[in-house]
Structures are given as C-alpha cells and as structure tokens.
Structure 1
Amino acid sequence: MPEFDIVPPEDIATGRATDAYFDRTMEALQHAGKNPTVVAEVTLDQFPTGEWNVFAGIEDAAQLLAGYDIDADALREGQLFDGGPVMRIEGQYQEFCRLETALLGFLSHSTGVATRALEARRAAPDSLVLSFGTRHVHPSIGAMVERSALVGGLDGISNVAAGEVIGREAGGTMPHALVICFGHGNQEQAWQAFDKAVAEDVPRVALCDTYDDEVEETLRAVEAVDDLDSVRIDTTSSRRGDFRHILREIRWKLDARGHEDVGIFASGGIGPESIRELRDVAAGFGVGSYVSNADPEDFALDIVEVEGKPAAKRGKLDGRKEVYRTPDGAHHVGLADRDGPGDGDALLEPLVRDGEIVREFDIGAAAERAADDAETVGFGR
C-alpha cells in the first residue's frame, strides 16, 4: 500500500493532529496539577454581522469529541449564522485541549465550502447544479467537499470514493479524453460508445466542444444518439468568447430542429455570477473550483468561563452565551443565564453528553435547513 502524506484518522481522534503548543500546555498543566472545569466556545464573529455562513462539518466534529468526558452544544448542520458561538464545550480543559486544532479544521473548511455551495444554489434555484470540484483539492478531503456541497444545496456529486463515504452515489458522463481517444472526426463513435456501454439509468449527455464548433458538434450528437438527454458545453476560457451567445445559438438551433427536449449543461469556471447570466439558456451547471476551493472560515475556540466564573482574553466576550433566531431572520447573542428575546428560538442544541453523541445527522435535512434559512435571511439576493 502506498504511503501518502495524510494524517491517519487515529491520530486525529487521539489528539495527535494538534499544534505543538497544546502539547506544551498539557505538560505545564499536568506539572502544576491544574485541570479546571471550563466552558469554551467556537465563534467566527462575536456579534451578528449580517454576513451569513452555512454551518457544516459538525458530524466530523461530533465524532472527534465522542469518547471524551465533555458536554457539547452546537448549531444544527446547515444552519445559517452571522455571529456568536456556533459550538459550546464544557468539561475539564485537559480533556479536550489537544482536540482544538482538528476541531477548528473540521468546522472551518466545511463551512467555507457549504457557504460557497449555497451561493451557487441560490444563483439558479430551479436549475440542476452539480459539484465537480474535488479534482482541485487533496483527495483525502474529497468526502468533506462533497458532503458540504450537498449541505449547501447542490444536487449531486462526482467523486466516487467520496460518495461511498457519505452514502451518496456519484454521477458523471464523459470527459474530453474519451472523445480524443476516438480521434478528430470520430466524435460520433465516442458518443455512441458511451451510449451503448453505460447503464440505462445514466443520463445520455454528450460533450460537444472537443474539436469543432460547439453548435456543429451539438447537431451531430443529436443525430448520432437516440434519446439524448442533454449536451455539455465546457469550452476552455481561451476559446470561449461570448459564452452566453454560444449557448443561446445552440438552444435556438436545437429548438428549430425539433429537439426542444435536449437540455444544455454548462461547466468550466462556473460560479454564481455566470450561473445568473446563463440560467435562462442552460438547464444545468457543473460547479468546480468556486465551491471546492473556498477559503476556510476563521473560527476560533476560546475559554469563556473557568470554574463557573466568566473569563476570557481581551477582545473576547466572556461568559456562557446563547444565540437566538428571531422571526425576521436576525440573530441575537446574549448571556445564557439571562432571558433571550421573547420571540427568539435558541439555536445551540445538545450534540454530545458525557462523551456520547446525542444527535443524528442527515444531509437532506441539513440542505433543507440551509434553504429555509436562506429564504428567511435573504441570503444571495
């Protein structure tokens, strides 16, 4: 078995995937015989900002905390938030000290990807939008990218192994390499080989921009393959020109020849801006690096209470907190031992109790939560 530069899961679970200064912290605390009971909170912003993100990575975070003698509360997967704590941990500090690095990594990267996915989803609410981006990231995080893309509302994924990890079947049709293997002038052979070889439930989608004009290849494809579902246009940016005009011309000529049922699927450098520009002519989109290459969010974990008393470093709000969602979509952050807004719903819910996970995780429910919250707060308008 080849050895890749991947931190083993067992090292993550046992706290070895940590920053060295947490090892020094443990050494110092153990030497001093000090292990206080603390409350720590994970936050992105102290106060509500109006800049919304999609909370993701919480299943991995729960798995990390399981087995340790702590309690944890957190937002639900797919919840939109704009400030205040997204997670609260209570226990003796040495119990979870070394887990901070991995915990923040699980939440920060997933949340960034899910937020980008929701931006793409909201750009074309009625279109098919698929995740094509795992080729742009380290393969060890492919499952995280695909799960987060689905939490953000994308309709499907492309990574086979990632799909097996998260319990979703990957989809896909053909790359340019397949067409090139048959040679210039033989595109029909490639499209027909695909049609005859793959399972009946795989959509018949012909890639129509490999050698010749996109319109020409499209018209050849609809003649070569019966019951073609759609054509995919993935023209490289150096040859793209006016991409919208190309797709409009394809749509026109398909309709004029009685192929109104053949859809157009666009991919290659696609993001929310291009989706909005093309959504009236393309039936679907493949989104790659815009989602997969999202910057991780800058979460921090801070102690806010020690032995029942408020405590925090400068610039941080001390004391155990609660976050509330009010009917107008706003967030309210307040001390947990005080009354919140009368019409607000508390968002931090039990995640781990005495080291046991007390929550179930469902990608579909998380995506629905993200979609509902996006409507409530006006995300992506």
Structure 2
Amino acid sequence: MSNPFGTVPAAAILEGRATDAYFERTRSTLEHAGKDPHVVAEVTADQFPTGSFEVFTGISDVATLFEGRNVDIDALPDGQLFDGGPVMRIEGPYLEFAELETSLLGFLSQPSGFATAALETRLAAPDSTVLSFGARHVHPSIAATVERAALLAGLDGFSHVAAGEIIGREAGGTMPHALMFCFGEGNQADAWRAFDEAVGEDVPRIALADTFWDEKSESLLAAETLGDDLDGVRIDTTGSRRGDFRHIIREVRWELDARGHEDVDIFCSGGLGPDAIENLRDVADGFGVGSYITGAESVDFSLDIVEISEGSARSSSEPISKRGKLSGVKAVYRTADGGHHVALADSGGPADGEALLEPLVRDGEVVREFDLEAASERCLADAEAVGFDPSAE
C-alpha cells in the first residue's frame, strides 16, 4: 500500500485537493461565469484586540503551500503573539488560492494552539526544565508539528524520535514503566543498573521511581543503586494514587537530602498543566507535559475577503465583508507598552507603533527565512512585552 495509514498525501495538499468541497463548487461556478476577481483576504481569529494573547505559528508550512502561486502574502513573524486583527494578508486573483483555504487554516490553527498551551507551561516554571511528552496523544503524522510548537514556546526538549529527525533536534527520554515491568517487582535495582550499562554516556540517568513501591522507597533505592551516577528520579504517580502530590515530592526531596543525595533532581510528569507546575516548581526540578499541550484548543482562525475588484488594480477596489467582520485592508501594530493595535492600512498606526505584518510571498516566491531558535526568542520576548499571563488564559 502506498498510503497504509490513510493520511492525506502532501501532493493533495499542494494541489489544493485537501479542501472543503464547496471550494471546488466555487471554482466551477466562477469559471462558468467568467469571473476571477482580484481580492485581498485576511486571516483573523478576533476582529478587535481582546487582551487575551495567543502564539502565531505554522507560517513556514503556509509559505510552502503558496510557493509558485500568483499571490502576495504578508504575515506576522513566526512566534509573534497576537490578540486580534489580521495575522496574514493574501492579495491576488481569487482562483489562485480558493481551494487552499482549508489547508491554510489547518496549518495555522492547530500549531498555534499547541504553541500557546506550551507557552503557558513554560511560564508556569520559567527556571525549571520543561519537556514535551505529548506526541503520543496525536496522530503520528503531526508529531513534528507538536514538538516544534513546544520548542518555539521555549520548552527545553521533547521525546519523539522521528519528529527530532524532521526538526533537526535530538529527542530525549529515559525509561518507561514497561522497562520496570520487564524486570519485575523487587528487581528495580537490576533494571536501573542495566539501563546505566546499556545507554550512552550522554543520556541522563533519570530513574523512574514510582512503579511498584512508594515514591520515597524507590527513589532512595535508585540513589543507593547508582550512587553519584544518578542524575535524578522521575515521579509519574497515577492520578488515582496521587493524593497531595506536592507533599509526596517534598517528602522525596527531604529523604534524599537527609541521606546526602542533594544533587539528585526530581522530575515530575503525568497529566500536568500550568497550575500543577506552578504549585510544584519550588520543590521539583523539572516537568514533562503532554496532554495539556496536545489537548489545546485550536485557534479559531478564519479567512475572509476584505477588498475586491474586477481588475488587478487596487485603485478600483472596494472594501467588502460579511456581517460581523470588518471590511478594508488592515494593519496591526505593537506599541512600546505592549499594546496590540488594529487600523486600516492606509490610515497609519500609533505614533510609536511597529507594524507587525511582514512580506512572506511575493509573486509566488517565498521571501522569508525560518529559524526556530529566532522564533522561540521572539515568542518569549513578546510574551514578556505583552504581559502574557498563563493564569489569565
């Protein structure tokens, strides 16, 4: 089978077949009527600023989608935060991109949701190690999308091997409960020793310490077994057995310290979100976050035509919109105080405003380069500038 997992192939996306059927009907109708107006369309989630910021990403896939098509596109930079107004503007003959709307919105909506949730977890413990463990909760074909969004939001690493190959970063991880089961209860020390002997020196010695006995007992046994080679213990206590998780972590920390194992870190995982991380960040050294990121709501982007003309000259164009949307070509600005402002493009912005929409595609040529590290730096800096507050999201 050429497509054993039933995923939509890349060719279908690039050719515009990964679309909603009504766009195909629209093309047939317009071609029958001899119409192909010149339009300006904008992608937005909210028309006016709301004060609730989200992270914009997925833009590199959009650039690939539109490469070679007769359009001009401006968009926010990868990793920029926004709370209203357009994040992207497309100008050109409507039939150049009509069928691409479905894929375009998908490329932006879900990754932006992942990145926003990841940013919330990052800022819940800014001085701790936070890793992405969520790839198991999504279809394998989009694992790299999850992990890239997590890195963009400032997380320190991720677990998915194939995603790492795509992103160009190495995946991390140590041991699952399955490894402990294979050695059996009472043989935890054998499992940790075998792991220590088998894996490369660059792999941290993090012992899973909650499988058969209580967390304190297994953590102390791991410390006794591996001695100075032990970097840390991971506590992944099931929610039904967790009780006061903070107390458990404090107890483990106390007992390790009491026996001279102050250098052994404690790493927590298992259904953690920003609130739990914030509650634990002063007693734990690191966190693995999964479903909070992958379960994030997609950003509800839509694409709307805001200006239209029968010819190719904008001088003869007319603003247009559906009810509830704002007509006319718009620009967005960031002011020095972190404000996000929306204005008609021809009217100018705030005196101290920085225009955020930047060229992405010109006459079908991608004119922007993409750098994950730079996008991550932008995301974290912009989060500080706008006062992004995880507890308010």
- Shift of residue 82, structure 1, vs aligned partner: 0.3
- Residue 168 of structure 2 corresponds to which residue in structure 1? 167
Is the aligned partner of 1:119 residue 2:120? yes
Is the aligned partner of 1:330 residue 2:339? yes
- Residue 288 of structure 2 corresponds to which residue in structure 1? 286
Q: Deviation digits for residues 193-221 of structure 1, max 9, x if unmatched?
A: 11111110011100000000100000000
CA–CA separation in structure 2 for the residues paired with 1:349 and 1:305: 19
- Residue 245 of structure 1 corresponds to which residue in structure 2? 247
- Shift of residue 293, structure 1, vs aligned partner: 1.4
Q: Which among 347, 356, 361 is matched to residue 347 of structure 1?
A: 356
1:253-268 aligned within 5 A? 253-268=255-270
- Shift of residue 136, structure 1, vs aligned partner: 0.7
Give secondary structure in 1 for the equivalent of 2:189: helix
CA–CA separation in structure 2 for the residues paired with 1:64 and 1:199: 40
Could you list the runs of 5+ residues in structure 2 that have no partner in the other structure?
310-316
CA–CA separation in structure 2 for the residues paired with 1:349 and 1:69: 18
Aligned residue identity for 1:316: K
Give secondary structure in 2 for the equivalent of 1:225: helix
Aligned residue identity for 1:29: L
TM-score normalized by structure 2?
Answer: 0.96
CA–CA separation in structure 2 for the residues paired with 1:205 and 1:67: 48
1:1-381 aligned within 5 A? 1=1, 3-226=4-227, 227-307=229-309, 308-380=317-389
CA–CA separation in structure 2 for the residues paired with 1:185 and 1:214: 14
- Shift of residue 380, structure 1, vs aligned partner: 1.7
- Shift of residue 360, structure 1, vs aligned partner: 0.9
Q: Deviation digits for residues 230-252 of structure 1, max 9, x if unmatched?
A: 10000101111111001001101
CA–CA separation in structure 1 for the residues paired with 2:338 and 2:375: 18
- Shift of residue 314, structure 1, vs aligned partner: 1.2
Aligned residue identity for 1:364: E
Give secondary structure in 2 for the equivalent of 1:220: helix
Aligned residue identity for 1:296: S
Give secondary structure in 1 for the equivalent of 2:157: coil
Aligned residue identity for 1:165: I
CA–CA separation in structure 2 for the residues paired with 1:26 and 1:55: 30
- Shift of residue 363, structure 1, vs aligned partner: 1.2
CA–CA separation in structure 1 for the residues paired with 2:97 and 2:48: 26
- Shift of residue 167, structure 1, vs aligned partner: 1.1
Q: Deviation digits for residues 84-128 of structure 1, max 9, x if unmatched?
A: 000000010000000000000010001000000000000000000
Give secondary structure in 1 for the equivalent of 2:203: coil
CA RMSD of superposed structures (Å): 0.9
Give secondary structure in 2 for the equivalent of 1:281: coil
CA–CA separation in structure 2 for the residues paired with 1:336 and 1:119: 32
CA–CA separation in structure 2 for the residues paired with 1:54 and 1:297: 9
Aligned residue identity for 2:298: P
Aligned residue identity for 2:93: Q
CA–CA separation in structure 2 for the residues paired with 1:212 and 1:320: 63
CA–CA separation in structure 1 for the residues paired with 2:348 and 2:370: 29
After the TM superposition, which segments of 4 or more aligned residues of structure 1 sit over 4 Å from their partners?
none
CA–CA separation in structure 2 for the residues paired with 1:231 and 1:65: 47
CA–CA separation in structure 2 for the residues paired with 1:296 and 1:331: 21
TM-score normalized by structure 1?
Answer: 0.99
- Residue 313 of structure 2 corresponds to which residue in structure 1? none
CA–CA separation in structure 2 for the residues paired with 1:238 and 1:315: 46
- Shift of residue 166, structure 1, vs aligned partner: 1.2
Could you list the runs of 5+ residues in structure 1 that have no partner in the other structure?
none
Give secondary structure in 1 for the equivalent of 2:97: helix
CA–CA separation in structure 2 for the residues paired with 1:121 and 1:106: 23
CA–CA separation in structure 2 for the residues paired with 1:325 and 1:368: 17
CA–CA separation in structure 2 for the residues paired with 1:374 and 1:84: 18
Q: Deviation digits for residues 171-209 of structure 1, max 9, x if unmatched?
A: 000000001100110001111111111110011100000
- Shift of residue 141, structure 1, vs aligned partner: 0.9
Aligned residue identity for 2:354: D
